[in-house]
Structure 1
């Protein structure tokens, strides 16, 4: 039997190495080139001069031995998880992990980027670091939406639904709203009765697949960890999130289609109140022509240059770029994205800032020179916090948070063993909880 299994594996390897498979790949890549890249190339040509002359600029780094006038704290949150820690018929147990790291620039003591010790963080946050949590869900039952809402309400620390929802409407409408009744007479007035509970904020109910549920639970857990930082005695200058500041909108109602969108805007509002710079850095992104913008930067500033590039939106001077005008969520609603690179060895990264904060602290109306001065000062600090040789060009605090929260295959195997032991201790149904295919060695 083992020989037959080995033979099947060899057959697949042989198939992958055939000219036929290579031919299929060539057809696929040529089709992309003919249908996508050529049309995009025309759009990029329209943006090229503007990007080079208005949106792209260099970063002037601090000297390696610089002592800052004032040292500050940098906090970062990242999360991981598994949507199938255990499967019990049609119920799945979701495992969620988050890690919060806080670094002190600490230049005046000559020990830059000193991490705050775990005991200090756990005392300030009131929870272990890294933090593990689990929730169950079944997406095929009639109560799927209700159960998901219960989990989200348990995860996110803010329990007042009006306080959760109003920051989005304040920011999108640019109005001071004191209560939900202030939405009366606006385009949102007809929906106020649908915004009162966590469950009513889930308007993509028909899309509650297991991956979608897991992504929402994981996002909420990361936002919860970030909120705990903002309400703690730890007062960082920067709070870094992993990912982008994208909000998926309900097409008809034009507000977030899932609770995490409201959570993000509530976080942004709280960060502004606490004078914390909240931003999100993407390890992976889909900004079109990022590689061409990087090449343009190298040609303009030299191969070893450190640079950033604003990705403007329709409300910014000159409007958005042609290369993403048909791409949804670039730029995200109520956010300002940039591309940046601090090393020619790295592909460009993406960083998003809260647009309301950006308008108040970076953008200067009718003064592009002052705006650029503010941008350069901002990216000087982003570069300064991205200098660890292990992950050069990526913020150190985020890299450490990622290392602490990620769940390896061995971690998950052990967690599943512990879950099985707990079921045994509780005297629960002894049925096997491993995937059915394992019964057949598949």
Structure 2
């Protein structure tokens, strides 16, 4: 009785499995055994008894879902028009939104992705037909077995919270930390994997890669280690990195240099500044050239990228009555994919000139545009998707460095990424899932 109930509950997206799969070595043929009786059975019996008992609503209980329930009560008519019915076996918009809400409400700021990775592993384990290819604390690779044609990749980490947890659903949108960048994409990936595992016929074989530590410096990249420990990823002909693109195709990406420009001075009493040299004044003069720079347009394969230099932070000063002897400005240089990292550093030093001492803290390469890939062309032909340049750095650069063509495509709106009011529309989630379904199966 318990075994049957566990499988039945696992058939729904977002339902917990009996246990998560153990970490293991990468194997394209790795599968899952049947779950025997587990300690979760007793807890499950308690939940089933509680479900049959009369419910008493506690003050403030389930506030996450209380704000939006379009399929109940007097709003049912509006629900019917805003959430269209789908054929049997496909993921309803409401279910997709609830799946995303579950992901949002598991905090996963960079370097703390273990819990959300474990939860995702439970969802994968609950689906007969899905195979875990590789698992580690902050990443999971899964698919349907066999050599992959295309990789669907997304990061599970977020920037720090800004008062936007827990998430909520209202007015046809899912709001909360990571909704746009990029847990909405993870929900789409899990929903698509569940549909394919249920037996939906497909023409392409996808491999799903979910990893952490993307919202930090490239030196902490999880992907670089995954490429070594799970070479099955590199067997694909194309990678779809599901960064926020508002369901448009965005090719290539900008490289990204983080640097510090230090201005030296001589400390003195502020009443007698001529006895010293004000480092902040030196910074004002030295940064003027950078502040006046216009974006530099670079066209690659017909797509226009914009190289830009920004002063992103500044710090200096000792006290209100001291002429400062040091001032440090943080610089960020975004460069086009036709420059190597070394060429980009040389260009930044040229722009800075003799002003201050430049120290490079990180230098992530950009990615070229490769429009000749046949699987990319197939994706472009799916509903005539528009093609744009990616005016940011994304992990497509890491795939490109390994010889795998990559493209950015995801449901999130980049304009809402990292914002306090971060959100994604339920319609955008459904559109993304529908496009990928057509691409994989059509």
TM-score by length of 1: 0.23
- Structure that is richer in helix per residue: 1
